[in-house]
Amino acid sequence: MSERITFSSVLQVITIDGVSGSGKSSTAKLLAKQLGFCHLDTGAMYRTHTLMAIRSGLKPDQYDELGRLAEKLDFSFSDAKELMVNGKPLPSEIRSPEISSHVSEYCKPHEVRKVMALQQRKLGLSKPCVAEGRDMATVVFPDARWKFYMTARPEVRAQRRVKELELAGHSVKYEEILRNLGERDDKDSNREHAPLKKAENAVEIDTSDLTMDQQVSTIANLVRSAP
């Protein structure tokens, strides 16, 4: 039986922020399952918004329209503690290379991030969860008890992403993925609203030489060792 965690604080949220390919999404999902928490995949929320925006013919500079679109996306947790949008599972297309290459530009406007942050906060207050993204500890849950920041060497991150996309049936090139990751890092770290950065009181974990089990156990052990 998986061990359940009971926090003394009101906000039962573990935040995991970090760069693309650092392993935060897979780690957050497995950690949430192990602890009996919901998995708040905020990257998937932004990807869903980007997919819907592209399908609607919206451009990245249509800030007001993108904000209104975000307001129409109602995210919730399923009985299996996974994210849903408007009562349905998240579309599989959100993991495609096309969406990955556009998500930063479609989701950088303040009009979008403000709406999404409010939804994320609401979800985090509704149930214990592991929240992963890029501004969880700095913007959405600054009062979270546990804050982690994951990173890894660029070449390791690119190799992981190539493997992930190939397993999903996509044909990709390592050099292109490596370049895209660098561009994504630059956009995320330098955007005006909610830029990617490590919270001052977050524990940094370099996952370059860690297996997935080691990544999960490292965080789980720190959580369980709390006084």
Our count of domains for the chain comes to 1
- State the CATH number of the domain containing residue 21: 3.40.50.300
Confidence band (pLDDT; 50, 70, 90) for 227? low
Tens of pLDDT, residues 199-222: 999 999 999 999 999 999 999 999
Strand partners, 205: 150
- The C-alpha atoms of residue 145 and residue 9 are separated, in whole angstroms, by 7
- Residue identified by tokens 């959405």 is 140
- The C-alpha atoms of residue 136 and residue 142 are separated, in whole angstroms, by 7
**Helix, strand, coil percent values for the chain (each to nearest 5):** 50, 15, 35
pLDDT value at position 97?
85
In a domain, 1, yes or no: no
* Backbone torsion region of residue 81, taken as left when φ is above 0, otherwise alpha when ψ lies between -120 and 50, otherwise beta: left
**Average pLDDT value for the chain:** 90
DSSP, res 220: H
- The C-alpha atoms of residue 28 and residue 32 are separated, in whole angstroms, by 6
Confidence band (pLDDT; 50, 70, 90) for 188? confident
> Roughly what angle, to the nearest 10 degrees, separates helices 110-126 and 63-72?
20
Tens of pLDDT, residues 92-130: 999 998 998 899 899 989 999 999 999 999 999 999 999
In a domain, 137, yes or no: yes
Mean pLDDT check: name the lowest of 98-102, 150-154, 185-189. Answer: 185-189
Q: Determine what percent of the chain is predicted with pLDDT higher than 90.
A: 74
- Calculate the CA 120 to chain-centre distance: 11
In a domain, 2, yes or no: no
Amino acid at 1: M
> Roughly what angle, to the nearest 10 degrees, separates helices 110-126 and 42-55?
140
Mean pLDDT check: name the lowest of 27-36, 87-96, 112-121, 185-194. Answer: 185-194
In a domain, 184, yes or no: yes
> Roughly what angle, to the nearest 10 degrees, separates helices 63-72 and 42-55?
120
In a domain, 8, yes or no: no
Q: If DSSP codes are grouped into helix, strand and coil, which group holds residue 61?
A: coil
pTM of the model: 0.86
pLDDT value at position 159?
94
Mean pLDDT check: name the lowest of 6-15, 79-88, 120-129. Answer: 6-15
pLDDT value at position 189?
84
Q: CB–CB of 122/141 below 8 Å?
A: no
Greater confidence, 24 or 227?
24
CA atoms within a 13 Å half-sphere pointing along the CA-CB vector of 113: 21
Confidence band (pLDDT; 50, 70, 90) for 61? very high
Q: Is the pLDDT of residue 8 over 70?
A: no
Q: CB–CB of 23/215 below 8 Å?
A: yes
CA angle at 88 for the pair 84 and 90, rounded to the nearest 5°: 55
In a domain, 5, yes or no: no
Contacts of 211 (CB under 8 A, 6+ apart): none
Average the pLDDT over 71-88 and give the result.
95
Q: Give the pair of three-digit tokens for residue 224.
A: 């369980």
Confidence band (pLDDT; 50, 70, 90) for 12? confident
Containing structural domain, residue 182: 13-224
pLDDT value at position 1?
33
Q: CB–CB of 18/136 below 8 Å?
A: no
